[in-house]
């Protein structure tokens, strides 16, 4: 077992802090602080302006704070008491032993944890190694695993420049650019041995030896290990293997997946970690199954086929992609280039190796599929919603020709969100008043949320309106800065001061701009849309955010189309686009909108989680019945939505143009006949009473089901430890977090 260095970055940071504040260094180096407003405010209150400038990086905040300011805080009894209280919470949290997982799955031990592999992780905006939904889901998974006490480590890649940054030029066209991540200034620790030397593993990639070092990000009780090839002793080309998330060509992609899968297994071994289960979150990490096999063959002397069942029993797989084109596949020539040296280590022929990733055996032109490899080498597979499970069974039936479609071994666990991250502090405080201060430890209990009816309408509405005002202030600030950076006329910069209105019905639409997500569906009939959004008596406004992949020209044209729409005189104060979408903006959006719009082409949304975040904040979903919304949406006996609205109902056709017309017409009708009238209907107190009832229905029907405490609990009881004889304690019976 590797002996690790004791000279941690947190200890070095602690040395520059006054004695009463020294433990802030420990908090800063653990992202536990990011899912509690009281913890976050410890850093923000040091210097609010600097907090914004440093990208909400707690480590930079402490490193750059002036000694005078730190001394002031160290002598401020109120601040010192806050630090002491948070440190006591942190120590209690980190040292708990009586946790939900220890009662439900005691066989999962810290010395043989779950190892969770993913290509991206969305933990916090100060760790920009995520692009969107997959990464945010992975980050939320780790946070709830920590809260529930599930012994887990995670493995990903540490991207030097992360995902691309976005700006929109004066022509409305998205421009892509990158910014270096300075790892040494982030809440990360480079893993070193007892001599202070970085621990590195070696891989053979493109006939070159590549060294990979390991960074650690602490996420509560879960350690996230991030692999980095940017070392001086690597070839300049290889240093950029971990340069960009989802960048480069197929060669870059396969090289990154070798680093993640094979390198990830070797990294855990180098750290002395022996996982009991490897969880592959999407197919990017599927090569890890081969390295597990290789290591067990070397240890036992057995053949690949002798240990194949053993490998399969230690691996589980979650797929997130509902279309074949979205799954990574590599040509046989590319596999030859990267694995000709490797299959002899498995004592396999080229044909045997290629067969592991082939959908149709014996076809010489069949590419090597990462999802196919994962399905073949994992003991279980699951989609991320009930509909996605059904779609996946249909898609991959070809691998199980002897089974009827409904018996294809792909189940589902519907995604959720980490409510402690995504619920606005104002809403969290409100829940604490009416549900009890420990509400967040009981969020999967429907009885917790039934109490939402006890919140007075006026109180809930005032809270929501405050959050909407905060969203609009954020949007105006970001829009003004973007227009200034584009060098726009003074008029267009100044009008941002009156952009949007807190009293107006506000819709949010934020996601990756790709054709199937139909970010421009609202403009299918431009005149109809202008009539709705430009209505003087009952206006509607919308905030867009999101990026198009750098190679997606069609997605960029959708953004350009929306930018042109923003300039229409009828709606210039009612339509806003926020550049460079990130976690911070996502929080503002899901916490402040009245309605969350989601209109993908069904069934191409595997799950979706942004609309789930909205529910915890009193927002209401208006969505195509796809992904999670098929399970979340409820209607009354007359077919009217009780907790939201369904676009297009069940009217589906393979004719995409016709489907767009059907769904656009449905959306216009919902806005004109139901959503807008309901919002502007006021009682004698000036409150939209029926709207508030729908807000409450959105909260109490969706919150207990679509959270990651419930989701991770399902993974533990159904996937990680199936058939566990221990009585399953409810997932909401957890210790204080």
Instruction: Please indicate, yes or no, whether residues 584 and 641 belong to a single structural domain of this protein.
Output: yes
Confidence at residue 365, expressed as pLDDT on a 0 to 100 scale:
77
Task: Indicate whether 733 belongs to any domain.
Answer: no
Mean pLDDT in residue range 432-440:
94
Longest Cα–Cα distance of the chain, Å, equals: 80
Residue that is last in its domain, among 47, 63, 95: 95
Confidence at residue 107, expressed as pLDDT on a 0 to 100 scale:
93
Q: What percent of the chain has pLDDT over 90?
A: 90
Confidence at residue 326, expressed as pLDDT on a 0 to 100 scale:
72
Confidence at residue 325, expressed as pLDDT on a 0 to 100 scale:
67
Determine phi and psi for 321, rounding to 5 degrees: -120, 120
What is the pLDDT confidence band of residue 3, given thresholds at 50, 70 and 90? low
**Which CA distances in Å does 580 have to 224, 255, 423, 478, 492?**
25, 27, 22, 10, 20
Averaged pLDDT score across all residues of the chain: 94
Instruction: Please indicate, yes or no, whether residues 598 and 699 belong to a single structural domain of this protein.
Output: yes
Task: Indicate whether 724 belongs to any domain.
Answer: no
Q: For the chain, first and last CA: distance in Å?
A: 32
Is it the case that residue 734 has pLDDT exceeding 60? no
Supply angle C-alpha 302, 355, 340, rounded to 5. 75
Decide if 158 contacts 245 (C-beta within 8 A). no
Residue that is last in its domain, among 387, 412, 437: 412
Instruction: Please indicate, yes or no, whether residues 241 and 161 belong to a single structural domain of this protein.
Output: yes
Instruction: Please indicate, yes or no, whether residues 654 and 695 belong to a single structural domain of this protein.
Output: yes
Task: Indicate whether 1 belongs to any domain.
Answer: no
Measured over the CA atoms of residue 28, residue 34, residue 39 and residue 45, the dihedral's sign is: positive
Instruction: Please indicate, yes or no, whether residues 59 and 111 belong to a single structural domain of this protein.
Output: no
CA distance 199 to 425: 40
**The two three-digit tokens of residue 696, written as one number:** 């409450």
Mean pLDDT in residue range 197-207:
96
Confidence at residue 392, expressed as pLDDT on a 0 to 100 scale:
96
What tens digit of pLDDT does each residue of 19-57 get?
999 999 999 999 999 998 889 999 999 999 999 999 999
165: three-class secondary structure by DSSP: strand
Decide if 649 contacts 665 (C-beta within 8 A). no
Instruction: Please indicate, yes or no, whether residues 282 and 428 belong to a single structural domain of this protein.
Output: no
* Ranges of H-type helices in 423-504: 425-435, 446-450, 457-485, 490-494
What value does the CA radius of gyration of the chain take, rounded to a whole number of Å? 26
**Look-up of token digits 């022996």:** 274
Task: Indicate whether 698 belongs to any domain.
Answer: yes
Confidence at residue 655, expressed as pLDDT on a 0 to 100 scale:
83
Task: Indicate whether 649 belongs to any domain.
Answer: yes
> How many Cβ atoms from other residues are within 10 Å of residue 298's Cβ?
10
CA-nearest of 21, 34, 33, 4 to 63 is: 21
Residue that is last in its domain, among 38, 73, 95: 95
Is it the case that residue 322 has pLDDT exceeding 90? no
CA distance 416 to 608: 9
**Which CA distances in Å does 467 have to 24, 417, 473, 588?**
29, 19, 10, 8
Instruction: Please indicate, yes or no, whether residues 91 and 104 belong to a single structural domain of this protein.
Output: no
What is the domain range of residue 25? 9-95
Task: Indicate whether 153 belongs to any domain.
Answer: yes
Instruction: Please indicate, yes or no, whether residues 116 and 153 belong to a single structural domain of this protein.
Output: yes
Mean pLDDT in residue range 465-492:
96
Q: What is the DSSP string of 642-695?
A: SSEEEESTT---S-HHHHHHHHHHHHHHIIIIIIHHHHH---TTS--HHHHHHH
Specify the number of domains making up the chain. 3
Task: Give the β-pairing of 174-177 and 189-190.
Answer: unpaired
Q: Is the peptide bond before 603 cis (omega within 30 degrees of 0)?
A: yes
> CATH number for the domain including 507?
3.40.50.2000
What tens digit of pLDDT does each residue of 663-697 get?
999 999 999 999 999 999 999 999 999 999 999 99
Instruction: Please indicate, yes or no, whether residues 367 and 429 belong to a single structural domain of this protein.
Output: no
Confidence at residue 2, expressed as pLDDT on a 0 to 100 scale:
62
CA distance 586 to 141: 18
Supply angle C-alpha 256, 259, 261, rounded to 5. 105
Instruction: Please indicate, yes or no, whether residues 110 and 163 belong to a single structural domain of this protein.
Output: yes
**The two three-digit tokens of residue 63, written as one number:** 């490193």
Mean pLDDT in residue range 708-733:
79
**Look-up of token digits 């056709």:** 653
Instruction: Please indicate, yes or no, whether residues 685 and 598 belong to a single structural domain of this protein.
Output: yes
CA-nearest of 281, 389, 423, 326 to 628 is: 389
Instruction: Please indicate, yes or no, whether residues 427 and 404 belong to a single structural domain of this protein.
Output: no
What tens digit of pLDDT does each residue of 633-644 get?
999 998 899 999
Task: Indicate whether 81 belongs to any domain.
Answer: yes
What tens digit of pLDDT does each residue of 246-290 get?
988 999 999 999 999 999 999 999 999 999 999 999 999 999 999
Confidence at residue 736, expressed as pLDDT on a 0 to 100 scale:
44
Task: Indicate whether 737 belongs to any domain.
Answer: no
Is it the case that residue 735 has pLDDT exceeding 50? no
**Which CA distances in Å does 703 have to 135, 142, 383, 586, 709?**
21, 19, 21, 18, 11
């Amino acid at each position: 077992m590797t002996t690790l260095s004791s000279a941690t970055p947190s200890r070095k940071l602690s040395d520059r802090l006054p004695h009463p504040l020294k433990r802030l260094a420990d908090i800063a180096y653990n992202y536990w602080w990011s899912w509690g407003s009281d913890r976050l405010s410890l850093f923000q209150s040091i210097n609010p302006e600097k907090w914004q400038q440093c990208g909400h990086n707690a480590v930079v905040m402490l490193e750059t704070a002036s000694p005078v300011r730190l001394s002031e805080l160290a002598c401020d009894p109120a601040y010192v008491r806050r630090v002491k209280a948070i440190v006591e919470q942190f120590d209690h949290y980190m040292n708990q032993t009586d946790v939900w997982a220890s009662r439900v799955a005691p066989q999962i031990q810290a010395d043989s944890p779950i190892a969770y592999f993913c290509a991206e992780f969305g933990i916090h905006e100060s760790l920009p190694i995520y692009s969107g939904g997959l990464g945010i889901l992975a980050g939320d998974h780790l946070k709830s695993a920590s809260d529930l006490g599930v012994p887990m480590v995670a493995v990903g890649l540490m991207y030097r420049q992360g995902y691309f940054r976005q700006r929109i030029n004066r022509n409305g066209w998205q421009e892509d650019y990158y910014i270096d991540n300075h790892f040494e200034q982030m809440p990360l620790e480079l893993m070193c041995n007892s001599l202070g030397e970085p621990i590195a593993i070696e891989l053979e990639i493109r006939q070159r030896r590549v060294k990979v070092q390991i960074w650690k990000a602490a996420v509560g009780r879960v350690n996230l290990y991030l692999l980095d090839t940017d070392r001086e002793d690597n070839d300049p080309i290889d240093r950029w293997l971990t340069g960009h998330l989802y960048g480069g060509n197929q060669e870059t992609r396969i090289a990154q997946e070798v680093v993640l899968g094979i390198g990830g297994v070797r990294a855990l071994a180098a750290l002395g970690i022996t996982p009991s289960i490897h969880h592959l979150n999407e197919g990017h990490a599927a090569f890890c199954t081969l390295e597990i096999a290789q290591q067990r063959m070397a240890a036992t002397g057995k053949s690949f086929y002798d240990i194949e069942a053993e490998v399969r029993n230690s691996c589980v797989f979650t797929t997130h992609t509902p279309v074949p084109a979205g799954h990574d596949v590599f040509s046989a020539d590319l596999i030859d280039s990267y694995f000709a040296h490797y299959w002899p280590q498995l004592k396999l022929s080229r044909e045997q190796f290629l067969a592991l990733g082939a959908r149709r055996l014996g076809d010489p032109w069949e590419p090597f599929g990462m999802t196919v490899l994962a399905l073949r080498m994992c003991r279980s597979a699951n989609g991320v919603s009930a509909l996605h499970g059904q779609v996946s069974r249909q898609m991959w039936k070809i691998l199980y020709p002897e089974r009827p479609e409904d018996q294809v071994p792909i189940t589902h666990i519907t995604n959720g969100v980490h409510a402690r991250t995504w619920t606005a502090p104002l809403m969290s405080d409100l829940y604490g008043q009416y549900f009890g201060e420990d509400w967040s430890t009981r969020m999967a209990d429907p009885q917790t949320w039934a109490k939402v009816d006890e919140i007075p309408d006026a109180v809930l509405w005032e809270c929501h309106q405050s959050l909407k005002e905060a969203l609009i202030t954020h949007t105006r600030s970001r829009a003004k800065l973007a227009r200034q950076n584009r060098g726009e006329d003074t008029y267009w910069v100044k009008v941002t001061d009156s952009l949007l209105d807190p009293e107006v019905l506000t819709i949010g639409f934020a996601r990756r701009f790709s054709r199937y997500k139909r970010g421009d569906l609202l403009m299918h009939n431009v005149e109809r849309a202008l009539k709705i959004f430009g209505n003087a008596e009952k206006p509607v406004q919308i905030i867009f955010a999101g990026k198009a992949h750098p190679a997606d020209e069609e997605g960029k044209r959708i953004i350009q189309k929306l930018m042109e729409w923003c300039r229409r005189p009828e709606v210039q104060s009612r339509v806003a686009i926020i550049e460079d979408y990130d976690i911070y903006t996502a929080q503002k959006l899901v916490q402040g909108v009245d309605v969350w719009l989601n209109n993908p082409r069904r069934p191409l949304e595997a799950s979706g989680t942004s609309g789930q975040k909205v529910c915890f904040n009193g927002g209401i979903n208006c969505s195509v019945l796809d992904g999670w919304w098929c399970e979340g949406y409820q209607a009354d006996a007359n077919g009217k939505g009780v907790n939201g609205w369904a676009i297009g109902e069940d009217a589906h056709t393979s004719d995409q143009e016709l489907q767009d017309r059907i769904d656009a017409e449905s959306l216009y009708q919902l806005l004109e006949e139901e959503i807008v009238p309901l919002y502007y209907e006021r009682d004698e107190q000036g409150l939209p009473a029926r709207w508030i009832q729908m807000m409450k229905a959105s909260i109490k029907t969706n919150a207990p089901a679509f959270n990651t405490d419930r989701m991770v609990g399902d993974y533990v009881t159904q996937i990680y430890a199936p058939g566990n004889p221990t009585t399953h304690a409810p997932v909401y019976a957890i210790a204080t977090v």
